[in-house]
Amino acid sequence: MRQVAERVRSATERVRSENALRESEEQFRVFAQAMPNQVWAATSDGELYWFNSQVYAYTGASLGDLHGADAWNGIVHPDDLGVARELWSRSLRTGDVYQTEFRMRRRDGAFRWFLVRAEPVRGKDGGITRWIGANTDIDDARRASERLERIVAERTAELRLFGDIIESNASPICTFDTSYRLIAFNSAHSDEFFRIFGHRVQLGEVFPDLFPPDQAAIIRGFMARALGGEAFTVTEEFGDPDLAKPSWEVAYTPLRDAEGVIIGAYHLADDISDRLRAEAELVAAQDALRQAQKMEAVGQLTGGIAHDFNNLLTGITGSLDLMLTRIRQGRLNDVERYVTVAQGAAKRAASLTLGSSPSRDARRSIPSRRT
């Protein structure tokens, strides 16, 4: 009787366990069918034997078509199949969680990326009884990530190019935040600031505080204008007189974020001392040229007056010679006419000192010395 009772108890326990297992499996199937993800199950040695309806809806396969160890070979992208099979074989061998990403062919022939993960189910003895896996569609997320990576790469390349351009610029360039602290500068800025002040600037330094008191107020005022949203260009002398104090042309521009809020500003400076010196030298040369041209004009005017004066003297002396000749000849009737001519020439000569000159008609009226 005892043996019969033991057999009955064992049979009862076995039935109870089988019922519990069937109930558990039924609950799993209901749960797996309700999930939006693709869910599948495989035996301990990797034979696929069950899939939820999402797998069949996606692949277009008929019930049972995907069963077996190699049934998925036709729906996994050929480029991804080798890695997927290698990792699956490793998990079956080691019992580690299986996880990978590969592309699966949709019923219309299009491929989409999936995150595939499978966990081993172990019995009381610790051995693997089966595998439960799930496929999560990550195609949209992956494409978005790829687009983001491309954008980041392009932006990084643009920033690197911009940085290279700024760094290669011979003009000092620096950027400062709303607290007047340096947040970026190129080598030219570092070198030029050292040249005129003997100090190597550092990121985070309050820029106006690096200037002498009389210059600090000026540079802070310029920076405040830029931080207030104004873009402008100024000319000012900056530097230690004991080292160098060049004249600078400085262009200021505000920096704004994507919403247009001012987050800082930058300036680009050029040492224009040589240019101003050349401009001053040019002005001096032009003034000297104008003075020379004036002196040349005066010389030409003086020469013209002398020429006219000599012509008038010739008229006077000619008239006097004719008068002397007539007097010697006793011909006094014409003497008065020659006196009148000589007096007219003398008056015209006198008028040259007042800025006038005899007309051509007047010169033509001077009598000839012929008798």
| Same-domain status, 67 and 124 | yes
Domain assignment of residue 122, yes or no = yes
Of the three residues 137, 153, 188, the one that is the final residue of a domain is 137
For position 60, what pLDDT does the model report? Answer: 93
Q: How many CB atoms lie within 10 A of CB 77?
A: 14
Q: How many CB atoms lie within 10 A of CB 270?
A: 18
Domain CATH code at residue 205 = 3.30.450.20
| Same-domain status, 266 and 221 | yes
For position 354, what pLDDT does the model report? Answer: 58
Query: What predicted TM-score, i.e. pTM, was given to this entire model?
Result: 0.46
What are the phi and psi torsion angles at 101 (to 5°)?
A: -130, 130
Q: Minimal CA–CA distance to 98: which of 114, 112, 110, 111?
A: 114
Full residue range of the structural domain in which residue 116 is found: 35-137
Domain assignment of residue 179, yes or no = yes
What are the phi and psi torsion angles at 94 (to 5°)?
A: -100, -20
| Same-domain status, 264 and 308 | no
Domain assignment of residue 223, yes or no = yes
Of the three residues 137, 159, 187, the one that is the final residue of a domain is 137
| Same-domain status, 265 and 299 | no
Q: How many CB atoms lie within 10 A of CB 92?
A: 20
Q: Which residues of the chain have pLDDT under 70?
A: 1-32, 34-35, 158-168, 304, 307, 309, 312, 315, 329-332, 334-335, 338, 349-350, 352-371
Domain assignment of residue 241, yes or no = yes
How does DSSP assign 24-63, residue by residue? HHHHHHHHHHHSSSEEEEEETTS-EEEE-HHHHHHH-PPT
For position 363, what pLDDT does the model report? Answer: 43
Domain assignment of residue 20, yes or no = no
Q: How far is CA 219 from CA 9, 191, 213, 236, in A?
A: 97, 18, 10, 9
Hey, what are 275's tokens? Answer: 């240019």
Task: Convert the pLDDT of each residue in 26-54 to its tens digit.
Answer: 555 655 675 678 999 999 999 999 999 99
DSSP 18: H
Domain assignment of residue 321, yes or no = yes
| Same-domain status, 301 and 213 | no
Domain assignment of residue 30, yes or no = no
Q: How many domains does the chain have?
A: 3
Domain assignment of residue 142, yes or no = no
